[in-house]
Structure 1
Amino acid sequence: MLRALFGDPPRVDSGPLQDAFHAIHKYMNSLTLIPSDKQTPYERRFVILSQSLVRAIDEMEQSQYAAVRFGQNVKQRYVDQMSREEKDDYHRHLYFYRNALIRLFAILDKLGYFMNERLALQTERIKSRFSYFTVLRKMHEHRLYTDLEQQLYELKMKYKDAVARLRNERNMEIHTINADLLDDLMKAAESKYGERVRIDTDSIGSHIADLEQGCEMTLRAVTIVFRYLIKHPAAAGSRPPHRQG
């Protein structure tokens, strides 16, 4: 959809994005193969949750793509050197970057909720408002589904630094102040009166690199979880979770 803004051809799914979509759809197909008159509300619920993840992943990827494309148009290092079009592209870059950032962690939260429900982890007994990372910690501390938890833990550690930076930005964006406004305040505090306002184009590249890492981790986590559920269809249910050694 957003590729049309740049006159680019429609997306062709590949790599981690294709793997995530394939794993989710294969899991959904395993549930929808059950005749509709025999499907339980439990099974239909997970079809709907899976569809929600597919839509969220699509929106995250599109926002990431737009953030990169608009960011590539920012060339000048000083605001007063920018044309009106370049300023607009800079703000479009920020808009889609923030959108991708928020959707990335929304997907992780959806995945954490999905895992908690599907694997009957009962994480809400520890924390009423929990995240994907809370779910991982619960699995690790209670040695639940250890083969799945180990894969997700290794993935988390591989992308740890980039995701930590993204999470700090997400928290800043949601709870305090927009990241770009914070940058403006910091620059204003450090600069002298009348000094030119500078855009750190290098930071655009580093932010985009972190976002790419975060999106990749998220897609790989989704793939790991859904492939596990396909391979272990009886892993859990509405009953209390069992332990795996």
Structure 2
Amino acid sequence: MLRSLLGEPPRQNDGIFASSMDAMGQTIQLLQREIKDHQDPSHDYRKLEIWTRGLIFSLEELEECLFAATFFRQKVRKDSVEDMDSQERADYARYVYFYKDGFIRVFSALDKLGTVLNELFDLKTSKVKTHFSYFTVLRQFAYFKVHPDLGGKLNAIKEEYRETLNILRRRRNTEVHYMNSEMKDDLWQRHQALFGKLELEDLDQHIRDLERGYQMVCETYLTVFGYVQQRWKKIVES
């Protein structure tokens, strides 16, 4: 959607994004087959199908935010807003918008997956915390000592991206609970020097952080739905 608005060609799915989307699509096919064969009187499979479609949309939206943030970052040339003309200021504002939307969506995509995991594997996370996050769900695997292969792989991914997730989480919390995250950078600079121009934050590093957050979500989704398919096939064959 955003690519067409920006005059760019449609996305060509490839790499881990394509693999993650394929894994979710194949899971939906398995659910639909189960619904067709057994009518799904409890509507459990229908609910999982709808939730999985929601995860597909969430991953697409995160990828589009990353693309748009990168697109507008490339249009920012000056190191200070004061030096920009009106067009560059507008492009910088668009970069900020999609960058912030992106790092918020990283955790939104993970938390939605947490809801699906909790339902799929009956992890009873709501008894620990009413409004739980993906990371709370992840701890439930170890607590109940269930699905150690999946839990171990998901923990390994989390640890690999720990530093990036901490950076994005701090920015998300600042944005959601305190002040606009880019204004926190401005405030820090004002503490360092009361006069002079405010230099922009490191936009390239921010994009790299967002890209790694997106990569972490893709790897997590692929791991979960690859495991779901393997487990499903074992049940069918048994």
**TM-score, structure 1 normalization:** 0.90
Q: C-alpha distance in 2, partners of 1:107/1:116?
A: 14
Q: 1:19 to 1:150 in 2, by over 3 A?
A: same
Report the identity percentage.
33
| 1:206 maps to 2:205 | yes
1:102-158 deviation digits (Å, cap 9, x = unpaired)? 111111000011000110010111111111111111212332110100111111111
In the TM superposition, what is the alpha-carbon distance from 1:214 to its structure 2 partner? 0.7
Q: Does 1:64 align with 2:66?
A: yes
| Secondary structure in structure 2 of the residue aligned to 1:46 | helix
| Structure 1 partner of 2:222 | 223
Aligned mates of 1:66, 1:204 — CA distance in 2: 13
Counterpart check, 1:24 vs 2:21: no
Instruction: State the one-letter code of the partner of 1:39.
Output: D
Runs of 4+ in 1 over 4 A off after TM superposition: none
- What is the CA–CA distance in structure 2 between the aligned matches of 1:126 and 1:235, rounded to whole Å? 31
Given candidates 130, 146, 149, the residue that maps to 2:148 is 146
1:39-50 to 2 correspondences below 5 Å: 39-40=40-41, 41-50=43-52
**Which has the higher mean CA deviation after the structures are superposed, 3-12 or 115-124?**
3-12
Distance 1:79 1:166 in 2: 23
Q: How does 1:182-193 map to 2 (within 5 A)?
A: 182-193=184-195
> Residue in 2 aligned with 1:196?
197
Change (3 A) 1:235 1:222: farther
Task: Return 31-40 or 152-161, whichever deviates more.
Answer: 31-40
- Stretches of structure 2 lacking an aligned partner (at least 5 in a row): none
**Rounded Cα–Cα distance in structure 1 between residues aligned with 2:199 and 2:123:** 49
Superposition deviation, residue 37 in structure 1: 7.2
AA in 2 matched with 1:27? T
Offset of 1:182 from its aligned partner? 1.2
Question: How has the CA–CA distance of structure 1 residues 235 and 204 changed in structure 2, closer, same or farther, with 3 Å as cutoff?
Answer: farther
Answer yes or no: is the 8 Å Cα contact 1:229–1:235 preserved in 2: no
Match for 2:157: what amino acid?
L
Give the Cα–Cα distance (whole angstroms) in 2 for the partners of residues 141 and 75 of structure 1. 50
Partner of 1:130: 132
1:159 equivalent in alignment to 2:161 = yes
Letter in 1 for 2:24: I
1:191: how far off?
Answer: 2.3
Matched residues, number: 233
Separation in structure 1 between the aligned mates of residue 170 and residue 234 of structure 2, nearest angstrom: 34
Structure number with the bigger relative contact order (C-alpha 8 A, sep ≥ 6) is 1
Unaligned 5+ runs, structure 1: 237-245
**Alpha-carbon distance change, 79 to 173 in structure 1, aligned in 2, over 3 angstroms:** same
For 2:140 and 2:44, locate their aligned partners in 1 and report how far apart those are by CA, in whole Å: 23
Quote the offset at 1:79 in angstroms: 2.0
- CA shift for structure 1 position 234: 8.2
Q: CA deviation at 1:184?
A: 1.9
Deviates more, 1:24-33 or 1:70-79: 70-79
Q: Secondary structure at the match of 1:33?
A: helix
How far, CA to CA, are the matches of 2:171 and 2:232 in structure 1?
37
CA RMSD between the two structures: 1.7
Aligned partners of 1:36, 1:73: CA distance in 2, in Å?
53
